[in-house]
Amino acid sequence: MKAIKKIIAGIDFSVYSTKVLEYAAEVAERNMAEIVAVSVINKRQIDHIKAICREDKPSNLTLEKFLGDETRRRIANMEELFRRLVPKTVTARITIRTGVPFEQLLQVVDEEQAELVVISSKGRTNFHDYMFGTTSEKVFRHCPVSVLSLNLRE
């Protein structure tokens, strides 16, 4: 079995994200592995902001301002999660991406040469996910490494 040295934790800031990071931290600590926590600003959200910017002229909202603010907010939230959940002995980094969530997660897996992905089978959902499949389903189908999907439904 291949040693686990790098773990990708998919963080969408849903109620399940805490458990995903806790589990990734536990696995990382046991294996002396690094965590790369990935949060993706969804392309659909970006498209909505672009539409608002086109319709609401002049506006103090720009796509660049939104992306900057959203990136800073996610980093601050992730740092707080790290402080609470990741032991000091575990190396953890934050990666914020924009685009289609499953595509970005898979790209980070490839770039980081990770051995494991930890995600939740339930997170932010909507009608689009119901019709076309969830991020976790797409990660399962296309991921080149092992995927640990936590079923956290109560």
Q: How many CB atoms lie within 10 A of CB 137?
A: 14
Maximum CA extent, the chain: 58
Query: Considering the domain boundaries, does residue 127 fall inside one?
Result: yes
Residue 51 has pLDDT above 80, yes or no: yes
Count of structural domains, the chain: 1
Residue 127 has pLDDT above 60, yes or no: no
Domain that holds residue 142: 6-41+77-150
What pTM does this model have? 0.87
Residue 59 has pLDDT above 70, yes or no: no
> What's the rounded Cα separation, in Å, for the pair 133 and 61?
31
Alpha helices (H) in the chain, listed in sequence order: 17-31, 43-55, 63-85, 101-112, 127-132, 135-142
- Read off the CATH number of the domain in which 31 is found: 3.40.50.620
Query: Considering the domain boundaries, does residue 107 fall inside one?
Result: yes
- Specify the higher pLDDT residue, 78 or 62: 78
* Residue whose pair of structure tokens reads 């595509």 in the numeric block: 103
Query: Considering the domain boundaries, does residue 60 fall inside one?
Result: no
What does the block give as tokens for 47?
């498209």
Judge whether 59 and 30 are in contact, CB under 8 Å.
no
- Specify the higher pLDDT residue, 93 or 128: 93
